[in-house]
Amino acid sequence: MLALLIFLGGLLMVVFYVINTYNALVGLRNQVKNAWSQIDVQLKRRHDLIPNLIETAKGYMKHERDTLEAIVNARSQAMSSQSIGDKAKAEGLLSDAVSKFFVAVENYPDLKANQNFLALQEELTSTENKIAFARQAYNDQALFFNNKIEMFPSNIVAGILNFTKQEFFEIQEAERAAPKVQF
């Protein structure tokens, strides 16, 4: 009788543990998804801002056709990419193009004095930052989730219930390197 009770108690504890872990994992996965949707929102915002920016800058920057075209191309490429890996790569290229553009802007004092352009620049700078921070938050969440899936004993539950690891949103090497100053 006692043995049966102990057995039932143990079984109950295991069941509770599985339910608990499952719920925790689902919660974590939703947080990862939420963090990813944050990145998505900001990427879309950047795509929306760029046409305005080009429109404002076009009149001033007649000699920077290449820079402007590079942004437009990178934008359309980024908008058409699908998987997380592709997207990260295309968006990295777009970030590069935008930062090259802002370096070029330094040579156009008229453009820099334009109120409309300043407002757009602030918006775009902030959107770039938000993308970086959203990526940071996403990677933190994904790491936490992946750790949970791999670590004992939650890995048993995750394995049975088919939780898979989340892909990181990696940055391109070119973007990560700080700009070099040459003398």
Partner 1 sequence: MALGYTIGVAWVPHQDGGILGMMMAALLWFVLSLISYFSGDSILLSMSGAKEVNRHVHPQLFNVVEEMKIAANLPVMPRIYIIDSPAPNAFATGRNPEKSAIAVTAGLLSMLNRDELQGVIAHEMSHVINRDVLYMTFAGVLLGSIVILSESFWRSQYYSASSRRYRSSSRDNSQAQAVMMVVAIVFAILAPILARLFYFSLSRRREYLADASAVRLTRYPEGLASALEKISRPDIQLANANRVTASMYIINPLKASSRNMVNAFSTHPPVEERIKILRSMMKGANYKQYAEAFSKVKGNASLMPSSALADSESVPLRPSTASAEDPRSSKQKARDLGDLMRVLNNYLFISCACGLVIKIPMDFNRKVLTCPRCQREHDPRSARPAPARVSPG
Q: How far is the CB of 77 from partner 1 (least distance, A)?
A: 23
Instruction: Kindly give, in sequence order, each residue whose CB lies less than 8 Å from that of residue 19, ignoring residues fewer than 6 positions away.
Output: none
C-alpha radius of gyration, the chain, whole number: 24
The count of other CB atoms within 10 Å of the CB of residue 62 is 8
Q: Would you give the DSSP letter of residue 182? A: -
State yes or no: cis peptide before 109, omega within 30 of 0: no
Pick from 58, 80, 102, 156 the residue near partner 1 by CB under 8 A.
102
Number of chain positions touching partner 1 (CB under 8 A): 37
Task: Please name which of 151, 17, 174 lies closest in space to residue 92, comparing C-alpha atoms.
Answer: 174
Pick from 18, 79, 84, 137 the residue near partner 1 by CB under 8 A.
137
Residue whose CB is less far from partner 1, 107 or 136:
136
For tokens 């791999």, name the residue: 150
Residue whose CB is less far from partner 1, 76 or 126:
126
Binding mask 13-52 for partner 1 (x = CB under 8 A): ------------------x--xx--x---x------x--x
**What's the gap between Cα 160 and its chain centre?**
29
Binding segment (CB under 8 A) for partner 1, from list 8-16, 66-74, 86-94, 174-182:
174-182
CA angle 74, 79, 83 (to 5 degrees): 110
Q: Are 111 and 51 in contact (CB under 8 A)?
A: no
Pick from 23, 26, 126, 161 the residue near partner 1 by CB under 8 A.
126
Considering the rule CB under 8 A, would residue 132 count as an interface residue with partner 1? yes
Positions touching partner 1 (CB under 8 A) are 31, 34-35, 38, 42, 49, 52, 56, 99, 102-103, 112-113, 115-116, 118-123, 125-126, 128-130, 132-134, 136-137, 140-141, 143, 176, 178-179
